[in-house]
Amino acid sequence: MLTSEIAMAPGIVRLPKSTFREHIAERLRAVILSGEVPPGAPIVETALARQFEVSRGPLREALRQLIEEGLLVTVPYTGTHVISLSVEDVREIHSMRVTLECFAFEQAWDKRDATFRAELQRRHAALVATIDAGDDRASILAELELHGLVYEVCGHRLLQRTWNSLRGRLQLYWAAHHRAHSIRGPKRDGHESYVETALGDDLNAMRAEIAAHMQRGGQQTETFLKGMAQPSTDPSKRG
């Protein structure tokens, strides 16, 4: 779904104005989030500019965008590289997910119409399909799609924006996680009760379900990360 398409009339959409910066940012984000360019990998402007067949101007702007999104880190006059998340970073991602997703369900609780229910089950089925097929990369995307539904439905743009930012880090972590040990594949789905509760009538139960769900995921990855403690390269500063 292209969010940059602006509806003007039935069947008519304004084509998004294209700049090199946008295309580069999009493609670069894709290869980073897919894990093709692993965490910690250096990003060299001149090489990338040659590869994308553009000059360094628009490339640098694309990099600046990804830096602000929290996917890259740069040191002036020295270099740029893909962030590598520490154990603590991952822990923070999980706790933040609980908070945001509970808030999203609170906002969306009264908006769960028939369309929502059907879409939720459709996405769950899609996730199960990718897991059964053993397609790790697709299952990552499917799981993000499933959890993303409530943010789309709740109608809170600022919340969705925040989730988008968090989703990037989560996806980055999952991709690296899978890349390193591929422990996602064999595991069972674990979203049955999530979907069931989301379709039920108990908001408090949903809050508990989210916390439990994230904690399961957190513990699974916690054991994996033990021992390979790498320093966080995530800048806690603002600019």
Q: Least distance (Å) from DNA to the CB of residue 63?
A: 8
Cα 122 to Cα 228: distance, rounded to the nearest angstrom: 37
* 137 touches a copy of itself (CB under 8 A): no
Does residue 71 contact residue 82 with C-beta atoms inside 8 Å? yes
Restricting to residues 62-101, name those near DNA by CB under 7 A.
Answer: 74-80
Question: One-letter amino acid identity for 201?
Answer: D
Side-chain half-sphere CA neighbours of 15 within 13 A: 3
Cα 149 to Cα 43: distance, rounded to the nearest angstrom: 33
Residue recorded with tokens 């590598």: 84
- List the structure tokens of 222: 């916690």
User: Considering beta carbons, is residue 77 or 158 the nearer one to DNA?
Assistant: 77
Cα 186 to Cα 106: distance, rounded to the nearest angstrom: 33
User: Considering beta carbons, is residue 67 or 183 the nearer one to DNA?
Assistant: 67
Among 100, 141, 146, 195, binds a copy of itself (CB under 8 A): 100
Of all helices (H) and strands (E), which one includes residue 26?
helix 20-33
Taking residues 14 to 53 in sequence order and writing x for each that binds a copy of itself by CB under 8 A, - otherwise, the string is ---xxx--x--xx---------------------------
User: Considering beta carbons, is residue 54 or 128 the nearer one to DNA?
Assistant: 54
- List the structure tokens of 24: 């580069």
What's the length of the chain?
A: 239
Binding site for a copy of itself (CB under 8 A): 3-4, 17-19, 22, 25-26, 57, 60-61, 64-65, 68-70, 75-77, 88-89, 92-93, 95-96, 99-100, 103, 107, 156-162, 164-166, 169, 234, 236-239
Binding site for DNA (CB under 7 A): 17, 19-21, 43-46, 54-58, 60-61, 74-80
